[in-house]
Amino acid sequence: MATAVPAASLPLPCRASSSSPAAAARRPRSPSLRKRHCVITPLAAACSPAPPPQLDNEEEGSGRRQVLLAGAAAAAAFISRPNPAAFAAEAKKGFLPVVDKKAGYSFLYPFGWEEVAVQGQDKVYKDVIEPLESVSINSIPTSKEDIRDLGPPDKVAEALIKKVLAPPTQKTKLIEAKENDVDGRAYYTFEFTAQAPNYTRHALGAIVIANGKFYTLTTGANERRWEKMKDRLHTVVDSFKIENRI
């Protein structure tokens, strides 16, 4: 790529000097530096790329973030999925995909979260600055074939929260639980809070039975950041999908 060079810095041709006044009188008057400057400047501009449109700081930062997010999502989709076209409909701006064909599930998580190893969990992604902002998924074998075999959504969710998703020392509250149908399969989704001595976590969960397993996905954030994070967390839960293993 050619780089624009200020016209004033370009080396200008020099004529051989003469000490003879007559020679000086015969020598035609050279164009002034100002005129030569005007000739050189258009040439330098023609060889230089057009300057980018000027953006204010907020627009420039937003543009850079969009480029980074798009690039990261495209790279992740290419690596995680052998057929990028098949995954195009599942991609969402600001999120990265997790596709585990062997375990039989897929979901999205916010760009910027990092994968961490947690004992007893299949996968965990979290924000390293706000550790309560995370998503985890786990699966255990079951002889049941449908989540509805365990009972209604509120009863199943409340039992799972108290016995598995929150320590006994935390005070929990089930806010909502409902049944959703996705591709003919029943999912239970629910919202709850878990109060510890120094913080309260506001969380969402999704559970389903398929492939001989009981799958549980949970995501959440500190209560103080719930209003800011809730839309992204709902996107995570809504993206959770079970696929029949081949």
Report whether pLDDT(14) > 80: no
Q: Are residues 38 and 143 in the same domain?
A: no
Residue 9, in any domain of the structure: no
Report d(CA 84, CA 185) in Å as an integer. 25
Among 184, 198, 79, 176, smallest CA distance to 131 is for 198
Q: Are residues 183 and 100 in the same domain?
A: yes
Instruction: For residues 10-32, give the mean pLDDT.
Output: 43
Positive or negative torsion for Cα 185, 191, 195, 196: positive
Q: Are residues 46 and 128 in the same domain?
A: no
Report whether pLDDT(87) > 70: no
Residue 171, in any domain of the structure: yes
Residue 78 binned pLDDT confidence (cut-offs 50, 70, 90):
very low
Query: Which residues partner with 155 through β-bridges?
Result: none
Q: Which DSSP string corresponds to 220-240?
A: EEEGGGHHHHHHHHHHHHHH-
Residue 54, in any domain of the structure: yes
Give the three-state DSSP class for 14.
Answer: coil
Range of the domain at 153: 92-242
CATH code: domain of residue 170: 3.40.1000.10
Report d(CA 39, CA 34) in Å as an integer. 9
> Both tokens of residue 77?
């989709």
Choose the final residue of a domain: 91, 121, 142. Answer: 91
Residue 243 binned pLDDT confidence (cut-offs 50, 70, 90):
confident
Per the structure, the count of domains in the chain is 2
Q: Are residues 66 and 175 in the same domain?
A: no
Positive or negative torsion for Cα 118, 151, 107, 246: positive
The predicted pLDDT at position 91 comes to: 62
DSSP 168: T
Choose the final residue of a domain: 91, 114, 129. Answer: 91
- Please report, for residues 77, 116, 131, 161, 226, the alpha-carbon distance to residue 234 in angstroms, rounded to integers and kept in the order given: 21, 21, 18, 18, 11
Report d(CA 45, CA 50) in Å as an integer. 8
Residues 6+ apart with CB under 8 A from 20: none
Residues 6+ apart with CB under 8 A from 148: 179, 186
Percentage of the chain exceeding pLDDT 90:
60
Instruction: For residues 152-180, give the mean pLDDT.
Output: 97
The predicted pLDDT at position 163 comes to: 95
> Both tokens of residue 92?
């969402």
Report d(CA 189, CA 237) in Å as an integer. 8
Confirm whether pTM is higher than 0.75: no
**pLDDT tens figures, 134-155:** 999 999 999 999 999 999 999 9
Question: Which range scores top for mean pLDDT: 75-84, 88-97, 129-138?
Answer: 129-138
Choose the final residue of a domain: 91, 123, 142. Answer: 91
Percentage of the chain exceeding pLDDT 70:
62
Using CA atoms of 83, 89, 93, 98 in order, give the dihedral in degrees to the nearest 10.
Answer: -50
Q: Are residues 162 and 197 in the same domain?
A: yes
**pLDDT tens figures, 37-67:** 433 333 333 333 444 444 444 444 445 555 4
Q: What is the largest CA-CA distance in the chain?
A: 112
